[in-house]
């Protein structure tokens, strides 16, 4: 085991972590702020890439393609929101339904192909895994830090507005929020739209980074997103109180997740066991707050 | 204070877990000449055979001690593919074998210097999002072997075995790019032969049985391409087609032995072996990967499933081999 090969693999892990960190911020908004477990994201994580790649291949402007990807994700969130609020379907089931239907929608977007490559040699794209060690503006890590910072800035501003505050109120106490005259259904729909729009942004960037979009790209994505959210709340929960810092912590959580995976691969883990390990990492981080509670309680009694 | 302690404990736990799982793959650190990274997309009989053939061809040509394989399997997870490819590229391996389409795309995106060979890939142009040049080479640091079975001959086979068939049901998984490509090509050949055809796409293993059921009720013959999901659900398909007395012509041997009557098959081991020989050209003889044309599998073989043919009462011509 050569430590040099681990270090040289780290930039790739950080870049991938930052891209998934955007997705994790989307998950954080529904899971923590809005208190909804939204499973739509497994589908949206492919939708954004599908829209972006297909538009780029048809000669669209790069920024327009990314914008349309975000809008497509927001529509997916809108559908889940309508399922949940107007049709009374429990949130988790509404998400599963949208995710299921997105499979067909994604195929249709991709012209009924399951997988479509996009090539940095022939198409202008924003980020590519090829540049991960290049020093300059095209470095994915540099680009992702800027994108993440911009996103956090916009979200910080939004959640400070009256509308944003009503979203947070809906998540923390739905009945109280309703009593204050907030239309909680509208809040939930807007929250789901924003969240899925962000996930689609991550998807659009990720498909460019890895050079392809695949209809199964988002499968299991929610686990990575939740892992990032949980890792960040365990590690940074006591340090980061400011909302912007919390979002940054989520992004760092995703980076830590991918660094752990990279270390594990470097240690020569049989990759067939990787899914088991991912589950264990999440389980350990989920258990820490619980153990911590027991530990402190025990100490007090002693 | 406690917090730091807990974080440390958690980290130690993670590391211990991973050391426990860290197994044999990194043990053979003998003196080696060539480092070859292998990224296989999913655990699958055909892909395993291709990897095996690839390794055997290289070991035969260069000797066991002169090459070190770093084999990684992504368990069908796109994010893991990216991570694995990132490791291989930063390890500066001498060559990357991308076994199936997603690793090929990820590798082509991650490096434009390390030679990349693909295997078990049906359509390089779509996978890479760029056309091949006139000689059938990619013009970039990618080449490899193509697993496309001769579809025209498979269509002829349907006609030969079932001359009275009116409608052929095309059964495949809509998530697999390779299958969709083959089905589209197959439709053209069936059109030429004047046989009607209908698509029956399933999403995953959960709806295989019901989609097969509807294909059985409307078609005389079913055709299944080299579809990974179908390959893992042959028992479920057989439980529907056998009672319905509908014969299945399959694109590869694994599916045929599970639920089909006949196939015109390529060997994935041979395909991997062909890829391995290309790798030797690149590693030992300094061939330029960007100028190597994509290679195709040679010598497809006609095979039949004796047991199912008997049960369905189908007589098979003598030039077919029993599986």
What is the Cα–Cα distance from A74 to A199, expressed in whole angstroms? 9
The helix or strand, by DSSP H or E, that contains position B72, with its residue range, turns out to be strand B67-73
pLDDT above 90 (res B197): yes
pLDDT value at residue A109: 95
Please report, rounded to a whole number, the percentage of residues in chain B having pLDDT higher than 90. Answer: 56
CB–CB of A288 and B6 under 8 A? yes
Q: What is the pLDDT of residue B281?
A: 94
User: How many residues appear in chain B?
Assistant: 323
Burial B52-68 (b: 16+ CB within 10 A, else e): ebbbebbeebbeeebbb
Tell me the residues of chain B between 106 and 135 that have a Cβ less than 8 Å away from chain A: 106, 108-112, 126-130
| Distance, CA of B104 to CA of B100 (rounded, Å) | 7
Please name the member of A112, A212, A264 whose beta carbon is closest to the beta carbon of B102. Answer: A212
Domain range list for chain A = 3-297
A264 vs A48, residue with greater confidence:
A48
What's the confidence (pLDDT) of residue B68?
A: 93
From A113's Cα to the closest Cα of chain B, the distance in A is 6
- Contact between A117 and B108 using a beta-carbon 8 Å cutoff: yes
CA–CA distance, A93 with B205 (Å, rounded to integer): 21
Topology adopted by domain B151-265+301-322:
Rossmann fold (3.40.50)
Predicted local confidence at residue B266, as pLDDT: 83
- The per-type count for chain B, helices as H runs and strands as E runs, is 13, 13
Q: What is the CATH number of domain A3-297?
A: 1.10.3470
Q: Is residue B8 pLDDT above 70, yes or no?
A: no
pLDDT in tens, B257-316: 889 999 988 888 999 999 999 999 999 999 999 999 999 877 788 899 998 999 888 888
Q: What is the mean pLDDT of chain A?
A: 91
Tell me how far CA of residue B35 lies from CA of A233, B50, B91, B242, in angstroms.
40, 18, 9, 48
Residue B23 banded pLDDT, cuts 50, 70, 90: very low
- pLDDT at position B21, please? 44
Residue B248 forms beta bridges with which residues?
B222
Q: Which of B129, B176, B225 to mutate against chain A (most A CBs within 10 Å)?
A: B129
By C-alpha distance, the chain A residue nearest B87 is A9
Q: Identify the closest residue of chain B to A133 by CA–CA distance.
A: B90
Cα–Cα distance measured from residue B251 to residue B239, given in angstroms and rounded to the nearest whole number: 19
pLDDT grade for B32, boundaries at 50, 70 and 90 = low
Whole-number pLDDT of residue A264: 83
Over residues B142-187, the pLDDT tens digits come to: 999 998 878 888 999 999 999 999 999 999 998 888 889 899 999 9
Helix (H/G/I), strand (E/B), else coil: B54:
helix
Q: Which of A49-63, A126-140, B28-42, B55-69 has the lowest mean pLDDT?
A: B28-42
Mutate to test the interface with B, among A17, A115, A273 (most CBs of B within 10 A): A115
Q: Which residues of A touch B87 (CB under 8 A)?
A: 5, 9, 12, 262, 265-266
pLDDT at A294: 84
pLDDT in tens, B230-248: 988 888 899 899 989 999 9
Rounded-to-integer distance, Cα A73 and Cα A201, Å: 8
Q: What is the nearest CA distance from A99 to chain B, expressed in angstroms?
A: 13
| Location of structure tokens 């100028």 | B291
Q: Does position B83 have pLDDT exceeding 80, yes or no?
A: yes
- Every domain of chain B with CATH number 3.40.50.2300 lies at 32-147+269-292, 151-265+301-322
The confidence score (pLDDT) of residue B4 equals 56
Question: What six digits make up the tokens of B227?
Answer: 């579809």
Predicted pLDDT of residue B229 = 86
At residue A150 the predicted structure's pLDDT band, cuts being 50, 70 and 90, is very high
Give B-chain residues touching A216 at CB under 8 angstroms.
Answer: 76, 78, 175
The predicted structure's pLDDT at residue A300? 58
Q: What pLDDT score was predicted for residue A299? A: 61
Element (H, E) at B121: strand B116-121
Interface test with B, best of A52, A120, A211 (most B CBs within 10 A): A211
Q: Tell me the pTM.
A: 0.80
- Give the pLDDT band (50/70/90) at residue A119: confident
CA gap B95, B106 in Å, rounded: 14
Interface size, chain A vs chain B, as Cβ–Cβ contacts under 8 Å: 196
* Level-2 CATH architecture, domain B32-147+269-292: 3-Layer(aba) Sandwich (3.40)
For residue A191, the model assigns a pLDDT of 96
With a cut of 90, say whether residue A65 has pLDDT above it: yes
Cross-chain Cβ contact B82/A114 below 8 Å: no
From chain A, the residues in CB contact with B130 under 8 A are 117, 119, 121-122
**Which of A77-81, A127-131, A141-145 has the weakest average pLDDT?**
A127-131
**pLDDT for res B39:** 96
Q: Please count the other Cβ atoms lying within 10 Å of the Cβ belonging to residue A27.
A: 28
Q: Residue B268 CA to chain centroid, in angstroms?
A: 8
Backbone φ, ψ for residue B175 (5° rounding): -90, -5
Written as one string, the DSSP assignment of chain A is --HHHHHHHHHHHHHHHHHHHHHHHHHHIIIIIS----TTHHHHHHHHHHHHHHHHHTT--HHHHHHHHHHHHHHHHHHHHHHHHTS---HHHHHHHHHHHHHHHHHHHTTT-SEEE--TTTS--S--GGGTT--STT-HHHHHHHHHHHHHHHHHHHTTSHHHHHHHHHHH-HHHHHHTT--HHHHHHHHHHHHHHHHHHHHHHHHHHHTEEETTTTTTHHHHHHHHHHHHHHHHTTT--SHHHHHHHHHHHHHHHHHHHHHHHHTTB-GGGHHHHHHHHHHHHHHHHHHHHHHHHHHHH-
Q: In the prediction, which pLDDT does B171 show? A: 95
Residue A200 CA to residue A129 CA, distance in Å, equals 19
Q: Which of residues 43-102 of B touch A (CB under 8 A)?
A: 43, 72-87, 89-92, 101-102
Interval A281-296: pLDDT, tens: 888 888 888 888 888 7
Task: Show the tokens assigned to B243.
Answer: 């009672």
pLDDT of B30: 42
User: How do beta strands B196-202 and B167-173 pair?
Assistant: parallel
Question: ipTM of the predicted structure?
Answer: 0.80
- The pLDDT of residue A1 is 62
Question: Mean pLDDT over residues A218-229, rounded?
Answer: 89
> Which is more confidently placed, A63 or B152?
A63
Residue B31 binned pLDDT confidence (cut-offs 50, 70, 90): very low
Q: Which residues of A touch B126 (CB under 8 A)?
A: 113, 115-117
Question: Chain B residues with CB inside 8 Å of A113's CB?
Answer: 126, 177, 180-181
Of the candidates A70, A18, A8, the residue with the CA atom closest to the CA atom of residue A44: A70
């Amino acid at each position: 085991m050569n430590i040099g090969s681990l270090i040289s693999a780290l930039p790739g892990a950080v870049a991938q972590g930052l891209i998934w960190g955007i997705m994790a911020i989307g998950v954080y908004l529904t899971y923590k702020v809005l208190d909804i477990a939204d499973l739509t994201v497994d589908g949206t994580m492919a939708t954004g890439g599908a829209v972006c790649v297909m538009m780029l291949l048809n000669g669209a402007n790069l920024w327009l393609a990314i914008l349309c990807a975000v809008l497509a994700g927001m529509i997916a969130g809108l559908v889940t929101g309508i399922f949940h609020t107007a049709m009374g379907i429990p949130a988790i089931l509404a998400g599963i339904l949208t995710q299921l239907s997105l499979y067909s929608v994604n195929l249709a977007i991709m012209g009924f192909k399951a997988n479509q490559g996009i090539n940095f040699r022939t198409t202008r794209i924003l980020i590519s895994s090829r540049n991960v060690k290049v020093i300059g503006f095209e470095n994915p890590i540099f680009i992702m830090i800027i994108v993440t910072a911009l996103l956090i800035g916009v979200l910080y501003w939004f959640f400070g507005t009256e509308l944003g505050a009503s979203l947070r109120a809906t998540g923390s106490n739905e009945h109280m929020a309703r009593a204050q005259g907030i239309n909680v259904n509208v809040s939930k729909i807007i929250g789901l739209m924003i969240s899925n729009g962000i996930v689609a942004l991550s998807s659009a960037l990720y498909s460019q980074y890895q050079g392809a979009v695949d209809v199964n790209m988002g499968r299991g994505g929610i686990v990575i997103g939740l892992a990032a959210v949980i890792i960040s709340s365990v590690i940074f929960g006591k340090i980061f109180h400011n909302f912007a810092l919390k979002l940054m912590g989520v992004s760092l959580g995703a980076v830590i997740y991918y660094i752990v995976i990279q270390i594990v691969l470097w240690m020569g883990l049989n990759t067939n066991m990787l899914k088991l390990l991912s589950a264990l990492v999440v389980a350990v981080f989920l258990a820490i707050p619980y153990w911590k509670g027991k530990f402190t309680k025990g100490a007090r009694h002693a | 204070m406690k917090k730091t302690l807990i974080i440390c404990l958690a980290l130690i736990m993670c590391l211990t877990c991973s050391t426990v799982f860290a197994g044999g793959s990194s043990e053979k650190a003998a003196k080696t000449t060539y480092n070859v990274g292998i990224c296989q997309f999913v655990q699958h009989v055909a892909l395993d055979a291709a990897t095996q053939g690839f390794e055997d061809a290289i070991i035969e040509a260069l000797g066991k001690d002169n090459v070190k394989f770093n084999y990684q399997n992504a368990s069908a997870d796109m994010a893991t593919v990216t991570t694995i490819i990132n490791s291989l590229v930063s390890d500066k391996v001498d060559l990357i074998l991308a076994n199936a389409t997603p690793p090929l795309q990820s590798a082509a995106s991650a490096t434009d210097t390390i030679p990349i060979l693909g295997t078990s890939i049906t359509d390089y142009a779509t996978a890479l999002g760029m056309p091949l040049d006139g000689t059938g080479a990619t013009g970039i640091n990618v080449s490899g072997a193509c697993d496309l079975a001769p579809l025209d001959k498979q269509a002829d086979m349907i006609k030969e075995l079932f001359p009275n068939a009116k409608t052929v049901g095309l059964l495949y998984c809509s998530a697999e790019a390779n299958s969709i490509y083959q089905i589209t090509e197959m439709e053209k050949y069936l059109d030429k032969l004047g046989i009607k055809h209908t698509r029956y796409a399933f999403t995953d293993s959960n709806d295989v049985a019901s989609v097969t059921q509807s294909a059985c009720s409307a078609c005389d013959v079913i055709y299944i391409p080299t579809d990974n999901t179908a390959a893992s659900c042959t028992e479920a398909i057989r439980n529907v087609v056998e009672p319905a007395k509908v014969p299945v012509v399959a694109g590869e041997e694994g599916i045929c032995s599970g639920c089909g009557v006949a196939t015109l098959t390529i060997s994935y081991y041979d395909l991997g072996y062909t890829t391995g020989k290309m790798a030797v050209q690149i590693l030992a003889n300094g061939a330029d990967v960007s100028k190597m044309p994509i290679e195709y599998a040679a010598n497809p073989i006609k095979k039949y499933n004796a047991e199912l043919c008997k049960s369905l009462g189908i007589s098979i011509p003598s030039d077919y081999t029993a599986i």
